[in-house]
Amino acid sequence: MSLLRIRKPKTRKGKKVLLAREPQLIEGPRNMLFLDGRKCGGDVKLCMKDLQQLKKPLIKSLNRNNDITPFDDPSSLEFLTQKNDCAMFAFGSTSKKRPNNLVLGRIFENEILDMVELGIKRYQAMTEFKTEKIGTCVKPCLVFNGPKWSQAEELRRLKNLLIDTFQKDKVEAIRLQGIEHVMSFTCTDEMNILMRSYKILLKKSGQKTPRIELVEIGPSADFSIRRTKIASEDLYKQSRKQPKELKVSKKKNITRDELGNTHGRVHLGKQNIGKIQTRRVKGLKKSAEEKKSDRQKKKELLKAAAQELLTNNE
């Protein structure tokens, strides 16, 4: 049962807000809620501050400390995400048992879909890198290094969660100069996640394609996977289900070539071309000279045929 009471909107603005919260045919980018636990400081605080910088403007941050344990009782966390209209969350806390703890998760139908608890082993903030930074609202390129990302189910879900975390507006086309930021995630044999962030520099190469250089701009972090809560296959499949209106139905006898041109094949029955009434066009009419030459040819043919008949009778 939801903790928020369902009320009918009394104003035009309230109705507009409730309609925006309802499921949409084409969902927009997801907001992320950042909140602190009972104690939150040190590397966790710096990490969440840098994540907010990378995620802007799709963020909502709560400044107060919250007595929440996501893996034991997630009801308060679900209430806050629903109240702030956020589909994702980042929860930072530190304790003697689990120091420098960061929890990333997603919400589906006002309930937690999946979440992963990461321990920060080493962290370098963006301010420690004395290099030129990227602008805000820049969509990063994500690179996942190592074969382990596709071997374990937990790592596959974590990869999908990281893609959702840094996902922004959907773009139809990009240009080379628009690719400025790349984030690299490496999974080691000890099941540690190494996160690195680079700025892409395009240098002259003397050719059409430029030479690319990477400059590390931060943040740089080494994470260890602690606890995970993964949704069941049925619930995960339901969360990824697309409406029928968005599914592209395959059309018969239509193909596309390498240049993107559409070719169609039309099947027709047997046609009697002699009975088809065509349009008379002036440009197709014969001229006076052509008609005269045709009459002359007919006369010559008739004379030749008559001459043959006379010779045969003799």
- Confidence label for 5 from pLDDT (cuts 50, 70 and 90): low
* Domain parsing of the chain, residue ranges: 27-232
- Is the torsion defined by CA of 139, 58, 217, 158 positive or negative? negative
Residues 219, 197 contacting (CB under 8 angstroms): yes
Please state, in angstroms and rounded to a whole number, the distance separating the CA atoms of residues 33 and 91: 8
> For a pLDDT cut of 90, what percent of the chain falls above it?
52
Beta strand spans in the chain (E): 32-36, 59-65, 88-93, 101-108, 111-124, 141-145, 181-187, 192-203, 211-216, 220-229, 254-256, 262-264
Residue 54's CB is within 10 A of a number of other CB atoms, namely: 18
pLDDT on residue 6: 62
- Is the torsion defined by CA of 165, 32, 61, 82 positive or negative? negative
pLDDT on residue 244: 80
Q: How far is CA 237 from CA 21, 105, 174, 242, in A?
A: 22, 17, 30, 10
Q: What is the pTM of this model?
A: 0.74
- Is the torsion defined by CA of 117, 120, 121, 122 positive or negative? positive
Render pLDDT for 161-206 as a digit per residue (tens, 0 to 9): 999 999 888 888 888 888 899 999 999 999 999 999 999 999 988 8
Q: For the residues 235-240, what does the mean pLDDT come to?
A: 89
- Superfamily for 27-232? Brix domain (3.40.50.10480)
Residue 5's CB is within 10 A of a number of other CB atoms, namely: 5
Nearest to 45 by CA among 105, 123, 97, 116: 123
